[in-house]
């Protein structure tokens, strides 16, 4: 570091700031320079130079308080109270505070807060916004700044105020304190112009950007991240009431790359409903660079009354390419390289492709796998995967992840995350939400599968509350089944409500083939049955052999006391040839007649002495009650 004479030492550090434009096009910035006014102190002796100059070359930010110049870009301005920190290479630091701002905010004079003899061969300057953290453990600093949780309120330049909290501004290594310091923005600024949005749609709730049809996890949550980890990013605009189609939303993110053929979807929702959706496709690879603003206009956005309507459109418009944009971007459907389901839209695509092109994407050799937890907007009236016209026949591995927000208001039968399955395998999945009927009833309701034929389900948990008070065949895992059914290591935590054939794991097992079994499954939810055949594990099994092994019922089975109400049990409500071994009932069983801690009524099969009970069976005294 250069040592200066006393006459060259000063009390104030003067910063020359040049106003820069963030633009989509890489045109040269417009800037001005101000004459340096030097103030000489008394006898303060420092190792610092008399003057630090700061400049903003093309596409380099100096500051993160903004004025939007419309189509020209965004101008940076200094504000009173701004601070920056000067570090040496081991993390010792001094602080400078803006004391004088020129008339247009393009330059400022900064005053050193305190005195120091900061030494070192390299220095680093960081704009201090209260969120940036610098780590000097390796000598050269690494910076951390989490961009999650951005929220915008207001319009015009006030809408940009939140950005200063999420843009990391720092210099490269400074080896000569007499040189000009260059502050570099690490952030990419996205500006979304609402375009077609109008007040008729209501005030906005959130704005979401989502990467599709390419490497989906392109967004970083933190500037210090070494690899992308987000497929979408949401800006809270619930406090923002736009009045013009030119009003804007602003998001500051770490730089990211969209690959050739990938798409960026921008969705603006109002009151929780998806209202406007803009999708732009990148013919060539596009790098969203630091210190650059990118404009997106939603004037060509497609309007939907609700998020549900858009999902419904996937089926209607699949042939002309509408649904192809939601196809998983990873995997080829083999067991070693399954299709990766990463978003709710991928699930919607799966629903569409099963219905419209089932042979290619829907057989026992095709595999799907979740790679993350997925939340379905609760305003969506979910349309089941697989239905009576074509059932789901492939393999779906939840990979230990959860699908939340499932909401089905059904007018028909065969309802659940999966409507109808045949020869399918579903495993390692948790699902939560609500399934209920809006019509006069129907059958085959469950959290996971409405109607299952020749299906295997392993290691799945249901937290869906299932309500079908005017119909039957209600289960936590399966509503009704037939053929060879295997359910292993599954749990139900949802509350179940039905008319008849209500079971914690399976509602009704109809004509099960030899070898069908329910093994090591547990029910913790209450089973509520209005009429008959309610059981902690199975509501009703018919005609064929079923083995129920090492299962636990810890929920209460609540049968009604209406006329004809009968057959309620801790394991099975009504059973024909079931074999029940090593099972435990801990629930309290109530009803009008045929109430048992294990089986309400049986027509054959065995109830082994290996079973245990700590619950109670309660019914009218003149009706059969016992420990079947």
SS3 content of the chain, % helix, strand, coil (to 5): 10, 45, 45
Average pLDDT over every residue of 540-555: 87
Cβ neighbourhood burial of 384 (10 Å; 0-12, 13-18, 19+): buried
C-alpha to C-alpha distance for 207 and 69, rounded to whole angstroms: 22
Q: Are strands 263-270 and 204-212 parallel, antiparallel or unpaired?
A: antiparallel
Query: In this structure, what DSSP letter does residue 299 have?
Result: G
| Cα–Cα distance for residue pair 329/349, rounded to 1 Å | 12
* pLDDT, position 111: 75
- Is a pLDDT exceeding 60 seen at residue 327? yes
Report helix angle 344-356 to 307-316, nearest 10.
30
Is residue 513 domain-resident? Answer: yes
Output 209 or 55, whichever has higher pLDDT: 209
Query: Which residues, in sequence order, are CB contacts of 5 under 8 Å at separation 6+?
Result: none
- What confidence score (pLDDT) does residue 478 get? 97
Tokens of 99: 């004391």
Res. 58: pLDDT tops 60: no
pLDDT tops 60 at residue 272: no
Residues 478 and 603 grouped into a single domain: yes
pLDDT at 462 over 90: yes
> How many CB atoms are located within 10 Å of the residue 439 CB?
13
C-alpha closest to that of 211 among 307, 326, 296 = 326
pLDDT of 614: 93
Q: Which residue range forms the structural domain that includes residue 504?
A: 441-626
70 or 190: which carries more pLDDT confidence? 190
Would you place residue 8 in the very low, low, confident or very high pLDDT band (cuts 50, 70, 90)? very low
Let me know whether 86 and 196 are in one domain.
no
Lowest mean pLDDT, pick from 37-51, 114-128, 203-217, 390-404: 37-51
Tell whether 157 is covered by a domain: no
Lowest mean pLDDT among 40-44, 358-362, 403-407, 573-577: 40-44
Minimum mean pLDDT range among 25-34, 182-191, 207-216? 25-34
614, 485: one domain: yes
| Whole-number Å distance between alpha carbons of 88 and 205 | 44
Whether residue 118 sits in one domain with residue 87: yes
Domain boundary among 303, 318, 342: 303
Q: The tokens 């006329």 sit on which residue?
A: 563
Q: Torsion angle of alpha carbons 86, 91, 94, 100, nearest 10°?
A: 30
Contact in structure between 539 and 474 (CB atoms under 8 Å): yes
Beta carbons of 276 and 301 less than 8 angstroms apart: yes
Q: Are 172 and 64 members of one domain?
A: yes
Q: Does the residue 408 lie in any domain?
A: no
Dist. CA 276–CA 129, nearest whole Å: 34
The residue out of 303, 329, 363 marking a domain boundary is 303
Domain co-membership, 204 together with 177:
no
Give yes or no for residue 101 having a pLDDT over 90.
no
pLDDT > 90: percent of the chain: 30
pLDDT for 249 beyond 70: yes
Q: In the predicted model, what is the mean pLDDT of residues 64-73?
A: 53
- As a whole number of angstroms, the distance between CA 12 and CA 179 comes to 17
pLDDT, average across residues 96-125? 72
Residue 448 placed within a domain: yes
Specify the DSSP element, H or E, that contains 348: helix 344-356
The whole-number pLDDT of residue 472 equals 80
Asked whether residue 369 is assigned to any structural domain, the reply reads no
DSSP β-ladder status, 273-281 and 263-270: antiparallel
Q: Which residue has the higher pLDDT, 461 or 62?
A: 461
Please check whether residues 180 and 202 belong to one and the same domain. no
Asked if 219 and 323 count as a contact pair (C-beta separation under 8 A), the reply is: no
* Residue 318 included in any domain: no
- Is residue 612 pLDDT above 50, yes or no? yes
Mean pLDDT comparison of 30-39, 155-164, 349-358, highest-scoring range: 349-358
Mean pLDDT of 377-402: 88
Lowest pLDDT segment from 160-164, 229-233, 518-522: 160-164
Residue 188 above 90 pLDDT?
no
Mean pLDDT of the chain: 77
Q: Are 62 and 76 in contact (CB under 8 A)?
A: yes
Average pLDDT over residues 80-96: 80
For residue 79, what pLDDT band results from cuts at 50, 70 and 90? confident
Mean pLDDT calculated for residue range 340-349: 84
Last residue of a domain, one of 248, 278, 303: 303
Residue 559 and residue 387: Cα distance in Å, rounded? 31
Does 92 have pLDDT greater than 60? Answer: yes
Phi (first) and psi of residue 265, to 5 degrees: -100, 135
Its pTM stands at 0.58
> Domain for residue 473, yes or no?
yes
461 lies in some domain: yes
Residue by residue, DSSP assigns 115-176 as ------S-EEEEE--SS-EEE-TTSS-EEE-B-TT-B--SSGGGGGGGGGGT--EEE--BS-
The confidence score (pLDDT) of residue 369 equals 96
Does residue 176 sit in the same domain as residue 295? no
The lowest-confidence range among 301-305, 369-373, 429-433, 507-511 is 301-305
pLDDT at 620: 67
Question: Which one, of 237, 207, 223, 217, lies nearest residue 166 by Cα?
Answer: 223
Q: Provide the pLDDT for residue 14.
A: 35
Rounded to 5 degrees, what are φ and ψ at 33? Answer: -115, 140
pLDDT at 373: 85
Task: Give the model's pLDDT for residue 208.
Answer: 86
Q: What are phi and psi of 4, to 5 degrees?
A: -105, 155
Bigger pLDDT: 546 vs 31:
546
Higher-pLDDT residue of 272 and 492 is 492
Tokens encoding 520: 């090591």
Residue 59 sits in the same domain as residue 207 = no
Number of domains in the chain: 3
Quickly list H helices, 258-333.
Answer: 307-316
Please report the pLDDT score of residue 452 as a whole number.
97
Both 79 and 195 in one domain: the answer is no
Residues 180 and 233 in one domain: no
- Looking at residue 424, what is its pLDDT? 97
Does 496 score more than 90 pLDDT? yes
What's the pLDDT band for 73 if we cut at 50, 70, 90? low
Q: Are residues 49 and 116 in the same domain?
A: yes
Percent of all residues in the chain with a pLDDT value above 70, rounded to a whole number: 71
**Which pLDDT score, from 0 to 100, does residue 245 have?**
67
Residue 442 has pLDDT above 90, yes or no: no
The residue among 506 and 514 whose pLDDT is bigger is: 506
25-29, 190-194, 203-207, 420-424 — most confident range = 420-424
Instruction: Name the band, by pLDDT with cuts 50, 70 and 90, for residue 32.
Output: very low
pLDDT category, 2, cuts 50, 70, 90? very low
Report the 10 Å Cβ neighbour count for 296.
18
């Amino acid at each position: 570091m250069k040592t200066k004479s006393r006459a060259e030492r000063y009390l104030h550090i003067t910063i020359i700031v040049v106003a820069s434009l963030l633009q989509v096009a890489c045109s040269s910035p417009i800037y001005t320079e101000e004459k340096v006014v030097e103030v000489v102190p008394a006898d303060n002796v420092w190792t610092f130079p008399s003057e630090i100059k700061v400049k903003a070359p093309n596409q380099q930010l100096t500051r993160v308080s903004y004025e939007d110049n419309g189509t020209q870009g965004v101008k940076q301005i200094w504000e009173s109270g701004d601070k920056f920190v000067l570090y040496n290479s081991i993390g010792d630091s001094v602080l400078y505070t803006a004391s004088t701002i020129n008339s247009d905010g393009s330059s400022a004079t900064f005053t050193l807060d305190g005195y120091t003899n900061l030494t070192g061969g390299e220095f680093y300057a960081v704009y201090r916004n209260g969120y940036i953290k610098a780590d000097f453990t390796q000598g050269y600093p690494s910076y951390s700044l989490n961009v999650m949780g951005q929220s915008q309120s207001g319009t015009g330049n006030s809408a940009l105020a939140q950005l200063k909290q999420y843009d990391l501004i720092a210099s490269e290594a400074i080896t000569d304190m007499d040189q000009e310091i260059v502050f570099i923005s690490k952030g990419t600024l996205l500006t979304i112009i609402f375009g077609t949005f109008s007040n008729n749609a209501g005030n906005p709730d959130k704005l979401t950007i989502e990467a599709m049809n390419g490497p989906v996890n392109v967004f970083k949550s933190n500037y210090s991240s070494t690899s992308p980890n987000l497929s979408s990013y949401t800006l809270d605009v619930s406090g923002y009431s736009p009045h013009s189609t030119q009003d804007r939303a602003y998001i500051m993110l770490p730089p990211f790359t969209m690959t050739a053929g990938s798409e960026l979807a921008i969705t603006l929702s109002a009151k929780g409903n998806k209202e406007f959706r803009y999708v732009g496709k990148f013919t060539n690879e596009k790098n969203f660079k630091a210190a650059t603003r990118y404009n997106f206009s939603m004037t060509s956005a497609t309007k939907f009354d609700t998020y549900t309507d858009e999902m419904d459109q996937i089926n209607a418009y699949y042939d002309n390419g509408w649904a192809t944009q939601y196809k998983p971007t990873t995997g080829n459907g083999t067991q070693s390289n399954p299709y990766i389901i990463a978003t709710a839209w991928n699930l919607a695509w799966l629903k569409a492709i099963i219905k419209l092109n089932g042979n290619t994407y829907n057989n026992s050799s095709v595999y799907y796998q979740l790679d993350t937890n997925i939340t379905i907007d609760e305003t969506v009236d979910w349309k089941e995967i697989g239905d009576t016209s074509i059932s789901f026949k492939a393999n779906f591995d939840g990979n230990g992840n959860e699908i939340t927000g499932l909401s089905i208001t059904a007018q028909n039968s065969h309802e659940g995350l999966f409507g109808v399955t045949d020869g399918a395998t579903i495993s390692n999945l948790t699902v939560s939400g609500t399934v209920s009927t809006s019509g006069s009833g129907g059958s085959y309701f469950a959290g996971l599968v409405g109607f299952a034929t020749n299906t295997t389900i392993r290691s799945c948990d249901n937290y869906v509350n299932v309500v079908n008070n005017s119909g039957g065949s209600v289960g936590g895992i399966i509503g009704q089944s037939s053929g060879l059914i295997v359910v292993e290591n599954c749990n139900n935590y949802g509350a179940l409500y039905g008319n008849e054939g209500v079971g914690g794991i399976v509602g009704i097992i109809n004509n099960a083939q030899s070898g069908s079994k329910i093994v090591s499954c547990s029910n913790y939810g209450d089973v509520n049955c209005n009429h008959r055949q309610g059981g902690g594990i199975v509501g009703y099994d018919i005609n064929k052999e079923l083995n129920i092994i090492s299962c636990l019922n810890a929920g209460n089975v609540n049968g009604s006391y209406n006329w004809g109400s009968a057959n309620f049990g801790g394991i099975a409500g009504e059973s024909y040839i079931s074999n029940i071994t090593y099972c435990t009932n801990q629930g309290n069983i109530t009803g009008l007649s045929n109430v048992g801690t294990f089986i309400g009524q049986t027509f054959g099969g065995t109830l082994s002495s290996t079973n245990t009970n700590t619950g109670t069976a309660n019914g009218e005294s003149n009706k059969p009650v016992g420990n079947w």
